[in-house]
Amino acid sequence: MKILVCISKAPDTTAKIAFKDNNTSFDENNVQYIVNPYDEWYALVRAIELTEQLKKGSITLITVGGADMDAIIRKAFAIGADNGVRIDAEPTDAYFVAEQIAAYAKENAFDIIFTGKETINFNGSAIGGMISEMLDMPYISMATKLDVNDTTATAECDIDGGTEVVECSFPFVISANKGMAEARIPNMRGIMAARTKELKVIPAIAAEKLTGVSSYALSQGRTTCKMIDAENAAGLIDLLHNEAKVI
């Protein structure tokens, strides 16, 4: 069982969000990055559990990003995985990123390609679907469970208004949602081992960028909260009807 896990980074959720260069780029000053939680907690941990269960297989981490991603990959190494690949390019467009990962996957024949459900900063939910199309593979989207035997995988996924259980043969791409595994905390051995695992840096292939952010804007916060006396709960209903006009 050869497994590829796609890893991206995200700012720690408490990070202050600010922009620079006339609001055209994200200000990374003082921003702490973490491994995107869906990639680490669910995709990677489930990949590790599967290789543990089957007592065979290997896990490769892949990321498209600059040198700052090396530290993120090492963080993920501390949880597990055998080796890693960084494709050296700025990940500014989903199609471009997917082309990079698909090209690597084509040459290295993986049985399962994991992505997270989405990055928590851009919430694209796009990379997994794009990779699967480029590789002509089935795509199991938003999976909350995944079990495999030698020939087939069974997954439970979120769908509109419920859940669905699907079966699929290898190879396939899957996006991991909450529920697929329990987050693991790296132990000392993992942290030590992470330093020596092989992280290969390879150049990007030529690919087009089909989108790009031209500007950012901070969302407007709410003005002031109107407080209503607890004794006068009915007054709230009146305000919701006459002032906010939402009921």
Partner 1 sequence: MSILVYTEISKGKIKKVSLEAVNYAAHIASATGSSTTAIIINPGDVNLDDLGKAGANKVLSVSNSNINTSDSQVMARVLNFAAEAENAQIVIFSHDYTAKAVAPRLAARMKAGFVPGAIDYPTTDGQFSVSKNVFSGKATANYQIFSSKKVISLLPNTFQVQTSGSPVASTSFDIPADLLNSRIKVKEVKRESNELSLPEAELVVSAGRGLKGPENWGMIEDLAKALGAATACSRPVSDLGWRPHHEHVGQTGLAIRPNLYIAVGISGAIQHLAGVNGSKTIVVINKDPEAPFFKSADYGIVGDAFEIVPKLIEAVKKFKASQN
Ligand X SMILES: Nc1ncnc2c1ncn2[C@@H]1O[C@H](COP(=O)(O)O)[C@@H](O)[C@H]1O
Residues that bind ligand X (CB under 6 A): 6-8, 36, 38-39, 62-65, 91, 94, 97, 115-116, 118-119, 122-128
Instruction: Name which of residues 35 to 64 contact ligand FAD (CB under 6 A).
Output: 37
3 state SS of 17 = coil
What, of partner 1, ligand X, ligand FAD, none, does residue 98 touch, CB below 5 to 8 Å by kind? partner 1
Beta bridge mates, 146: 155
Task: Decide whether 178 or 197 has the Cβ nearer to ligand FAD.
Answer: 178
Given the structure tokens 């620079």, which residue do they identify? 20
Helix axes 188-196, 69-79, angle to 10 degrees: 130
Asked whether the beta carbons of 9 and 40 are under 8 A apart, the reply is: no
244 contact choice in partner 1, ligand X, ligand FAD, none (CB below 5 to 8 Å, kind-dependent): partner 1
Separation CA 59–CA 180 (nearest Å): 17
Q: Which is nearer to ligand FAD, 11 or 37 (CB)?
A: 37
Question: Please, which of residues 133-172 interact with partner 1 by CB under 8 A?
Answer: 133-134, 136-142, 144, 154, 158-169, 172
220 near ligand FAD, rule: CB under 6 A:
no
Nearest one of 172, 187, 176, 190 to 146, comparing CA atoms: 176
Q: Is 190 a residue that touches ligand FAD (CB under 6 A)? A: no
Least separation in angstroms between CB 162 and partner 1:
4
- Phi/psi for 215 (5° steps) reads -160, 160
